[in-house]
Amino acid sequence: MSESPYRLAVIVGSVRDGRFGPVVANWFCRQAGQRADLVVDLVDLAHVPAALGGAPGTVTPTAASGAASGAAYSAAEVPFAERIAAADAVVVVTPEYNHSYPGPLKAAIDSVGAQWHAKPVGFVSYGGISGGLRAVEPLRVVFAELHTVTIRETVSFTGAHACFDAAGEPVDAGPVNRAATAMLDQLGWWAEALRTARTARPYGG
């Protein structure tokens, strides 16, 4: 492990009212937060204007942070592109909608360009019978176009709502915790390898 932890952006890919996504994302962030090799930046697309049809460069003030009146931003107010630029790795937490991923997630992905390049992307998916895997596979094609490396291991929740208790903890934690560890182990390898490579030589994408 290198001396400085890598920066992991965890993207909450659903924005609709009543969404389940934060339950899944918060669990994953707790898992990731136990590791010494990374620091987490939770990026909720519900606060990203590009995901909601706004201009990519603008920011959405949050209830927690108040109006964006000064130079000091809370994390939620830093433009999406800057947060992807600062990341060494990304995990997308995505539901499955009609055998694919949410439209706002695609809008957010498309609002950013070179900030994605030469970085690893992992997936946590959830949905009905397929566990969201029909959202993940088309996302791999999208992220290939953006010069990323997608991680083979995934975490998926079949019948997601029944997988968590009222406190937001997995009902059967063992398998999903192991899946998260396997994915984060691979992600960490790529994050450090590609950070070293980007530092040594700018990526020529």
Ligand X SMILES: Cc1cc2nc3c(=O)[nH]c(=O)nc-3n(C[C@H](O)[C@H](O)[C@H](O)COP(=O)(O)O)c2cc1C
Binding stretches for ligand X (CB under 6 A): 14, 16, 19-21, 95-99, 126-130, 160
Q: How near is the Cβ of 176 to ligand X at its closest, in Å?
A: 15
Contact 46, 38 (CB under 8 A): no
Q: Which is nearer to ligand X, 96 or 192 (CB)?
A: 96
Q: Which is nearer to ligand X, 21 or 188 (CB)?
A: 21
What does the buried/exposed string (b/e) look like for 133-144 if buried means 16 or more CB atoms within 10 Å of the residue's CB?
bbbbbebeebbe
Q: How near is the Cβ of 36 to ligand X at its closest, in Å?
A: 30
Q: Which is nearer to ligand X, 20 or 73 (CB)?
A: 20
Residues 6+ apart with CB under 8 A from 198: 118
Q: How near is the Cβ of 4 to ligand X at its closest, in Å?
A: 33
Contact 95, 125 (CB under 8 A): yes
Q: Which is nearer to ligand X, 164 or 190 (CB)?
A: 164
Task: Output the six-digit token pair for 138.
Answer: 């088309």
Q: How near is the Cβ of 142 to ligand X at its closest, in Å?
A: 18
Q: Which is nearer to ligand X, 55 or 129 (CB)?
A: 129
Q: Which is nearer to ligand X, 95 or 120 (CB)?
A: 95
Q: How near is the Cβ of 153 to ligand X at its closest, in Å?
A: 20
Which one, of 59, 60, 52, 122, lies nearest residue 94 by Cα? 122
Q: How near is the Cβ of 71 to ligand X at its closest, in Å?
A: 33
What does the buried/exposed string (b/e) look like for 74-111 if buried means 16 or more CB atoms within 10 Å of the residue's CB?
eebbebbbebbeebbbbbbbbbbbeebbbebbbbbbeb
CA atoms within 13 A on the CB side of 173: 9
Residues 6+ apart with CB under 8 A from 5: 36, 37, 38, 39
